[in-house]
Structure 1
Amino acid sequence: MSVVVVAHIRPLPEHLDAVREAFVEILPAVHAEPGCELYALHEADGVLVMIEKWASQEALTTHMTAPALAGLGPKLAGKVGGAPEVQVLTPVPAGSKGAL
């Protein structure tokens, strides 16, 4: 079963562009990771929101230590207001379009 993740990243206002660019830079590498079905960056009111879909929990676990994500930490140091808020979601299918 696929795993859906939503992560909220809160850049410090003066670093919004740099943090956004750091995520944009890793998108191709993450998209190439085994089991990545969706890794999409969104933005609202100065908050970056990553919506992810992984083929399995194992794929998500591997992603958490993959080079692209590991290399992101130093680029974000001092530029975000804390750790990302991460939610791993359980689908509640309803109707013909009720699940990612």
Structure 2
Amino acid sequence: MIHVLAILTALPGKRAAVLEVFQANVPAVHAEDGCIEYTAVVDVEGANPAFGPDTFVVVEKWESMAALKAHAAAPHMAAYGEKVKHLMAAHAVHVLNPV
């Protein structure tokens, strides 16, 4: 199993708009072969340290690296990227193995 943590930071005040597009894409991702988990999470109010009001984290689990690569190349992911690219400030994707 492959774990992914994608830390996505929207432009100031744009996180809700990005999350709206993200959530619309979730059913297509869940339908992909090898998708075990794919969800967005935000800071618990009052938690410290926090990512902040413009950042969310996508928590993903995939059956294999091949499934993750297919996900990255999926047309709906390209469409999602096009819809949000003007709303994003930064992103970091961490691909991990469980131990």
Alignment TM-score, normalising by the size of structure 1: 0.85
Q: Deviations over 1:27-82 (max 9, x none)?
A: 00000000000001101222110000000000000000102211111111221113
Identical aligned pairs, as a percentage? 39
Matched residue, 2:95: 88
Deviation at 1:90, TM superposition (A): 1.7
Q: Which runs of 4+ in 1 moved over 4 A?
A: none
Unpaired runs of at least 5, structure 1: 93-100
Distance 1:52 1:34 in 2: 13
Alignment of 1:15-94 (within 5 A): 15-44=14-43, 45-46=52-53, 47-82=55-90, 84-92=91-99
C-alpha separation in 1, matches of 2:20 and 2:12? 14
Q: Which runs of 5+ in 2 are unaligned?
A: 44-51
- Number of equivalences: 90
For 1:3, the aligned partner's letter is I
**Residue deviations 1:11-35, cap 9 Å, x none?**
0122111101111010000000000
Structure 2 counterpart SS, 1:28: helix
RMSD: 1.0
Larger fraction in strand:
2
Query: Normalised by the size of structure 2, how large is the TM-score?
Result: 0.85
Specify which structure has the bigger relative contact order, considering alpha-carbon pairs within 8 angstroms and separated by 6 or more residues: 2
Supply the distance in 2 between the matched residues of 1:73 and 1:91 (Cα, whole angstroms). Answer: 28
